[in-house]
């Protein structure tokens, strides 16, 4: 724009004015892709103090239906020991059926957890499930689709489980639920770099025997006090390994990100995906805008999430978003006129109608007097625009 204009025009600070004008163009901000590092440093979860007090859960759905009617897997993982249970279920199970399996497989073996991190599946957001966990004394920590770092542990374990089941089906055939118990045993009895040992070793004090044993595994001869001390030492060692693993992961992730802070009341644009946005944001096609808005920030949630004030047509969307989905809006909304809402005639002219006088002052010049009036003008459907008019 600068190179096109400077052929015929020039004024002091011309390039600076053009840069400011382009930066405040709402259309440009909505359609241009970002080429900088995404916003928001990584915020690791707090390391648990004991086994099976803080767990995560997720579902693998749309699997081939087996002879027993299973078509989904319920993955439940302890955040401290990384010990996991893979429970075959049916996708049609209701919340009360899921609660029955939960008590039978988890509570009966490990007790009642303190917190549960899960996504917003309909089974986990139902009134029955919330009331059930409230009666047990467990706090639900539900993630959202717009805060992707919440539960990366479950997603990584699901990827490993799918690879194991895929390998079993390719090599041996049959149904995936036949190999699920063996996959669970293999996963829990294998070395994990994040904790420095297999999950079974920290859970039971030693590795479990396998069909192929390179060494004889027997019970350790320890006195009662020594057993307690050894267990506590192992927990301290595990927490140290987890802390080192988290710090290492955070340092890698933060190299590809940049920090930013918004204040309550700031106007921001919301990033949407051209494909995912077909349902969530009622936008169609790959050439739809990359950002929508602007929206007002009404609250800050944690260190890297914000709650937005969304219009009525987006009320079904969760209103809390990770900072990587937001972009600072420099546009003065009061001066922006959407083209689709302007009422124009055949000659592309529109009529302005004064609605209200907001301010008035008199400016004295050498030979004349100018009355300046600040008026609210109406020239589009249901909206008013502020403007200044001079009257002699």
For the ranges 6-20, 80-94, 269-283, 300-314, the lowest mean pLDDT is seen at 269-283
Determine the average pLDDT of the residues in 142-159.
72
CA–CA distance, 239 with 54 (Å, rounded to integer): 14
Lowest mean pLDDT among 12-21, 97-106, 269-278: 269-278
Mean predicted confidence (pLDDT) in 232-259: 69
Residue 89's pLDDT is: 92
Please count the other Cβ atoms lying within 10 Å of the Cβ belonging to residue 42.
Answer: 16
Q: Which residues contact 304 (CB under 8 A, 6 or more apart)?
A: 39, 40, 41, 43, 322, 323, 324
Most confident of 99-103, 246-250, 288-292: 99-103
CB-neighbour burial class of residue 101 (10 A; exposed 0-12, middle 13-18, buried 19+): middle
**Average pLDDT of span 55-67:** 89
Q: What is the pLDDT of residue 352?
A: 60
| Residue 383 confidence (pLDDT) | 45
Least confident stretch, 133-147, 296-310, 337-351, 367-381: 337-351
**Residue scoring higher pLDDT (50 or 88):** 88
| pLDDT value at residue 222 | 44
The least confident of 21-35, 178-192, 269-283, 362-376 is 269-283
**C-alpha dihedral sign at 185, 191, 193, 199:** positive
The pTM of the full predicted model, rounded to 2 decimals, is: 0.60
Query: What share of the chain in percent tops pLDDT 70?
Result: 72
Q: How confident is the model over 369-389, as a mean pLDDT?
A: 59
Q: How confident is the model at residue 343 (pLDDT cuts 50, 70, 90)?
A: low
Residue 302 and residue 219: Cα distance in Å, rounded?
A: 46
Q: What is the pLDDT of residue 287?
A: 62
User: Which has the higher per-residue pLDDT, 388 or 198?
Assistant: 198
Q: Going by C-beta distance under 8 Å and a sequence separation of 6 or more, which residues neighbour residue 320?
A: 144, 146, 147, 301, 305, 306, 307, 308
Confidence of residue 199 (pLDDT cuts 50, 70, 90): confident
Residue 321 has pLDDT above 80, yes or no: yes
Structure confidence at residue 345 as a pLDDT band (50, 70, 90): low
Per-range mean pLDDT, top range of 77-91, 143-157, 184-198, 304-318:
77-91
- Stretch 69-78: mean pLDDT, rounded? 92
On the question of pLDDT at 378 being above 50, the answer is yes
Mean pLDDT computed over every residue of the chain: 76
Q: Residue 314: what pLDDT?
A: 74
Peptide bond into 149 cis (omega under 30): no
> Does the structure show a pLDDT above 50 at 312?
yes
- 275-303 residue pLDDT tens: 444 344 445 556 667 778 788 888 888 77
Confidence of residue 173 (pLDDT cuts 50, 70, 90): confident
pLDDT, average across residues 221-241 = 61
What is the Cα Rg of the chain in Å?
A: 30
């Amino acid at each position: 724009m600068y190179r096109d204009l400077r052929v015929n025009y020039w004024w002091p600070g011309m390039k600076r004015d053009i840069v400011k004008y382009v930066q405040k163009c709402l259309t440009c901000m909505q359609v241009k892709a970002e080429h900088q590092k995404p916003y928001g440093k990584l915020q690791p979860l707090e390391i648990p103090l004991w086994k099976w007090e803080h767990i995560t859960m997720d579902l693998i759905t749309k699997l081939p239906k087996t002879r027993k009617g299973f078509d989904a897997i319920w993955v439940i993982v302890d955040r401290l020991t990384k010990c996991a249970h893979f429970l075959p279920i049916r996708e049609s199970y209701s919340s009360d059926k899921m609660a029955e399996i939960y008590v039978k497989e988890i509570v009966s073996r490990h007790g009642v957890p303190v917190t549960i991190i899960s996504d917003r599946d309909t089974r986990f957001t139902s009134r029955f499930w919330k009331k059930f966990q409230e009666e047990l004394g467990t706090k639900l920590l539900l993630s959202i689709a717009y805060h992707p770092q919440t539960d990366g542990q479950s997603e990584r374990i699901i990827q490993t489980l799918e690879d194991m089941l895929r390998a079993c089906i390719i090599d041996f055939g049959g149904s995936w639920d036949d190999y699920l118990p063996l996959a669970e045993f293999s996963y829990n009895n294998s070395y994990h770099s994040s904790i420095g040992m297999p999950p079974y070793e920290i859970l039971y004090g030693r590795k479990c025997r396998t069909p192929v044993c390179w060494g004889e595994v027997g019970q350790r001869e320890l006195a009662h006090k020594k057993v307690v001390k050894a267990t506590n030492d192992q927990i301290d060692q595990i927490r140290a390994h987890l802390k080192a693993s988290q710090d290492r992961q955070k340092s890698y992730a933060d190299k590809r990100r940049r920090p930013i802070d918004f204040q309550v009341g700031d106007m921001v644009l919301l990033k949407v995906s051209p494909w995912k946005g077909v349902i969530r944001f009622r936008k169609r096609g790959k050439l739809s805008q990359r950002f929508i808005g602007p929206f007002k920030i009404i609250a800050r949630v944690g260190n890297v999430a914000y709650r937005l004030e969304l219009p009525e047509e987006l009320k079904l969307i969760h209103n809390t978003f990770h900072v990587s989905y937001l972009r600072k809006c420099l546009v003065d909304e009061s001066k922006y006129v959407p083209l689709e809402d302007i009422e124009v005639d055949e000659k592309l002219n529109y009529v302005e109608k004064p609605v209200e006088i907001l301010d008035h002052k008199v400016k004295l010049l050498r030979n004349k007097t100018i009355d300046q009036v600040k008026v609210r003008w109406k020239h589009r459907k249901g909206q008013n625009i502020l403007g200044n008019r001079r009257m002699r």
